[in-house]
Structure 1
Amino acid sequence: MNYLVIGAGNAGRPVARLLNNQNHKVIITDPKQLSDFKQDVQSILKQMEKEGVILDLGNDNPSIDGIDKVYKAPSLPDSAPIAKKVAEANLEVITNEDFSKMVNDLIPVDIIGITGTMGKTTTTFITTSIFKQAGYKVWSCSSLVNNLVSEAIIDGIVKGKAQNCDIAIFELPHGTIGLLNELDIKIGLLTNIAEDHLSEFGGSLEKYQQRKLILEKMSETFIANNSCRDIIAPVRGNALYYALDDDCDFIGTAGDEKLTLKYSKGEFTTPFHMVSYFFENSVGASSVALTYGVSPEDITDALSEFKGLPAHMEDVGEYNGRKVILDSAFLYDGMKITLEYFKDDNVVLFLDHFDTLSKRDKTEVGQLVGQYVDVIIASGFNEVNQTVEMDAAYEVLDAIENPSAIKVATRDITEAAALTFKYSKPGDIILHMGPLIAYDRITTVEKIMKGLEEGSKKYE
């Protein structure tokens, strides 16, 4: 079968790669030249070409001669010339539902799916750790593997991981759920829903919620944070709920380096050496494991050994007597949890540009951090479009109401990290927060670490 995939963006690439893997002839076309894509996307497209996908890039008027079926990127308007050409030729168009069913048929094991606005990466990681401790051979896909999780899933299928595991545990961001909306999920988990990514949904929180709730429809068993009960209960009468200290199906209680879990079959306490939001995320992960049949003993063994994950309240070491913590919190509730944890410390805070694919309320960020921190350094570099947007940094800083706060705007995150040493002293905490680590962890952490090295030498 000859396929034309229109659009080499986040939806088109995984579709083209899987179709090619299933022995179809695939052309992927896009008006952008290869050099117009980000470096990591260029690498993926080059890999696809090596595997046999034909790249037709920089073409505003692709041919449909000899094409049997077409996949159109969701962003392609019906008014586009190529869309009109496909319609006039009456070519069969495969939908996200068609593609999702194809993916589902290629995964022969139970799937656990985890979504939410905050905590899904952490919860996926902890869930994976628990199942591995219980002896399962786990195929795990999350934004720690690839920021676009759908590409990580397709990569796993192409490389045979789906055939070489006992269970699949997937983080399912809203984009991945939109593409893979017909999976058979054994257990689905919703960590929370907050106002984010709304610019991708016409500003509608309801539309964003409905995208997240696709997971509920796909799930044989569905578990949600108790904070989402008002959203879930009207559509799912048999949902299960988890929380810290709330009366529900799975109740967690945080103690001094321990976590107690109470559920229908009893309760148990595990040593737990993490802090902050890891408690609630661990309750969510444990609720999945208990529901699936993992023993409390295996959960205890996993959680007692859990050491965290990259850039989530991660202690990256001591520099010139300052402890440096990298955190990827960027939404109000998550940032508040992190800031509350350090409220008794002297913190020097450096921040990313807060817009990625979504526009965010920088004024809200400034008002929040100003309540906790006296030194705030904000970067104006937008990683998505690779431009310096100092207005974004000033929007954060101008909203800080603390009259004694030191407020500094920088052109990039490397400079921001370096300057933390100028405004700190031994014994202080240097804290990073912002969305870029979640968006592009490897590049962002490299830039931060470079700044820390430079600053620790320059201002020692």
Structure 2
Amino acid sequence: MKWKEIVNYINEIGQHEQLNDLDISGVNERASSVRDGEIFVAIEGFEKDGHDFIEQAIDNGASVVIGQKALSDLTVPYIQVENSRKVIGALAANFYEHPSKDKIVIGITGTNGKTTTGLFTTHLLRKAGYSVSFFGTVFNEINGQRMDSSLTTPSASMIQKSLSESTDEVVVIEVSSQGLQQHRMEGMAFDYGLFTNLQHDHLDYHKTIEDYFMAKKKLFSLLKPSAKAIVNSDDHWGNKLVDILKDEQIEVLTVSETGDPHTHYAFETTVKNRLTINEQTIQAQAPLPGKYNLLNLSMAATVLSDLGHNIDQLEEMIKDLEPIPGRFEAYDLTDTVKAVIDYAHTAEALEAVLSTCKAMYPDHRLNHVFGFRGNRDSSKREKMLSTSIQYSDHTILTLDDLNGLAEEIMKNTYISMAQSYSTIEVDIIMDRSLAVKQVIDNAEEPTLILLTGKGHEDYTCTFNLPVHSDKETLDYLTDYYMD
């Protein structure tokens, strides 16, 4: 493709007529993978600065370099722009000829529930006969091929390249606030934008909850002209979003347990739950427990219904959903000890999963094992701990990710936080694997261990037991105690 075609309508780049007929073979922000004839876009990252790798990119064959810093004396043309993150998305979209325009594209944003809602939606659409690509926290899947995922929201160039290679009819994408803030969705066009909720999280990055909300709201500026928003209007910020989008003349479908929404769900603990869409009411038991998962199913079912599909067999359609890694994964460890792994990492998510555990296992002593991430949003920690104390019989603070923080500093943080509580309520065991083992060893009655925070993720710390994730810890201890 010619340079003049790639930069078409990208005002930030300006006119460079001497490059107009230059052949461009691709767009790349990773210097190590640049190939002959590609544009290398230097991005200032949080740990590494792409400008430091420009010479490597040129050595690998970059024909043009774009960056934010004032540079000269390069052996290839260099163009300075105000925001290279924004530019790479637009370049990639042009190079791959805007692949999102020819697919049904569904973006899901929110603090909690993105993965579950995304996989519910993907599963239901496949049951309805669509081929579906999925991009998310736990994996990416294109053309039936599944790959590991390193980011909730892929880079701008990667998502455009992947969409151009996808032969699937529908694309479902988890869209993080960081991904939106960093313009990774630049050049995308969505048919549906889903908003699950907004809770206290990532304020180390966004600084204020209002900034966090506005980052999420960016998804809805990327909708196609005929697109729709699907919003949880029971959420305070969701309700605010509804008002804003209606003012912007965007069609909004609301999902709620109260009021008069487009989709109404009724959560019951003793009988089957109900779901009403367009005056059609069905039984709707979600494949994962808890009201929050019925909300997630309702969001997914709203997409299916709006695409013109009958939902009367919804419960049957969702029944064979494969387990979602790290989302309320239940285990029987011994005859009397059970465990649940969940990714919950906000106070609201903890309240949801803890209350669900209490309802499902009323005769079990509830032990909650979790920790905090080093050098991350510390303002949510007190509320998370108090929520754990409120619902648990016993809380154990342990390691999550240190992220470069010294273990001793995190331990001192735990000690300081635990001083307000008795040792009966709160323990500190830094080794996550041994924390679980101690609960099992001390169990004298039916016991439930809830492990939160890590979910599907591998450990970044080394522990005493030869395990690398919460799942491996439970598998190892099951074998240990069953032998």
Structure 1 residues 330-341: aligned runs within 5 Å: 330-341=345-356
Q: Percent identity?
A: 15
| Structure-1 residue corresponding to 2:468 | 446
Contact 1:109 1:167 in 2 (8 A): yes
TM-score scaled to structure 2, two decimals?
Answer: 0.74
Aligned to 1:241: 254
Q: Partner residue of 1:97? A: 86
The aligned runs of 1:111-190 (5 Å cut-off) are 111-145=105-139, 146-151=149-154, 158=161, 162-178=165-181, 179-190=184-195
CA 1:177–1:22 in structure 2 vs 1: closer, same or farther (change >3 Å)?
farther
Aligned to 1:412: 431
Shift of residue 161, structure 1, vs aligned partner: 7.0
Is the contact made by 1:130 and 1:298 (CA closer than 8 Å) also made in structure 2? no
Letter in 2 for 1:92: Q
Measured in 2, the distance between the counterparts of 1:87 and 1:257 equals: 72
User: What does residue 239 of structure 2 align with?
Assistant: 229
Equivalent position of 2:455 in the other structure: 437
- 2:252 paired with 1:253: no
CA distance in structure 1 between the partners assigned to 2:441 and 2:240 by the alignment: 48
Q: Within 5 A, what are the aligned runs for 1:54-453?
A: 68-71=64-67, 83-85=69-71, 91-93=79-81, 95-104=84-93, 105-107=98-100, 108-145=102-139, 146-151=149-154, 158=161, 162-178=165-181, 179-201=184-206, 203-219=207-223, 220-226=227-233, 227=235, 228-237=238-247, 238-255=251-268, 256=270, 258-276=272-290, 277-297=292-312, 299-306=314-321, 308-319=323-334, 321-343=336-358, 344=362, 345-355=364-374, 357-380=376-399, 382-385=401-404, 387-388=406-407, 389-399=410-420, 401=421, 403=422, 405-425=424-444, 427-434=446-453, 436-437=454-455, 440-441=457-458, 446-452=468-474
Structure 1: how far apart are the matches of 2:113 and 2:32?
Answer: 29
User: How far apart are 1:100 and its partner, in Å?
Assistant: 2.6
Aligned residues: 416
Letter in 2 for 1:299: L
Assess if the C-alpha contact under 8 Å between 1:118 and 1:191 holds in 2.
yes
**SS at structure 1 position matched to 2:267:** strand
Corresponding residue of 2:142:
none
* TM-score, length of structure 1 as denominator length: 0.77
For 1:198 and 1:422, the matched residues in 2 are separated by 38
Instruction: Map Cα deviations across residues 132-163 of structure 1 (whole Å, 9 max, x no partner).
Output: 11111100011011241333885565567743
Is the CA contact 1:330–1:354 (under 8 Å) kept in the aligned structure 2?
no
Range that drifts further, 100-109 or 190-199: 100-109
**Structure 2 Cα separation of the partners of residues 112 and 263 of structure 1:** 19
**Partners of 1:355 and 1:378 in 2: CA distance:** 13
Contact 1:115 1:189 in 2 (8 A): yes
Structure 2 matches for 1:23-34, cutoff 5 A?
24=38, 26=40
Q: Computing the radius of gyration over CA atoms, which structure comes out larger, 1 or 2?
A: 2
Cα deviation per residue 1:304-362 (whole Å; 9 max; x = unaligned)?
Answer: 33464111111133335311110111211111111112233311111132456433422
Compared CA separation, residues 233 and 392, structure 1 to 2 (3 A): same
* Structure 1: tracts of 5 or more residues without a match: 3-12, 38-54, 73-82
Pick closer, same or farther for the CA change 1:22–1:142 going to 2, 3 Å.
Answer: farther
Over residues 346-395 of structure 1, what are the superposed CA-to-partner deviations in whole Å (9 max), with x where a residue is unaligned?
11111132456433422212211111222211114534226412134335
C-alpha displacement at 1:264, in angstroms?
Answer: 2.3
* Bigger mean CA deviation after superposition, 94-103 or 164-173: 94-103
User: d(CA) in 2 for partners of 1:363 and 1:253?
Assistant: 32
Instruction: Mark the CA change 1:287 to 1:123 in structure 2 (over 3 Å): closer, same or farther.
Output: same
The one-letter amino acid of 1:223's match is I
Cα distance in 2 between the residues matched to 1:272 and 1:63: 49
Please give the per-residue CA displacement for 1:154-181, whole angstroms capped at 9, x wherever unaligned. 5565567743101100000112222214
Shift, 1:212, TM fit:
0.3
Cα displacement (A) at 1:116: 0.3
Distance in 2 of aligned mates of 1:264 and 1:300: 17
Whether the 8 Å contact between 1:113 and 1:215 is mirrored in structure 2 is yes
How big is the shift at 1:416? 2.2
For the residue of structure 2 that corresponds to 1:324, the secondary structure is: strand
| CA–CA distance in structure 2, aligned partners of residues 291 and 17 of structure 1 | 43
> Which stretch has the larger CA shift, 315-324 or 13-22?
13-22
Q: What amino acid sits opposite 2:415 in the alignment? A: Y
Q: In structure 2, give the amino acid aligned to 1:266.
A: Q
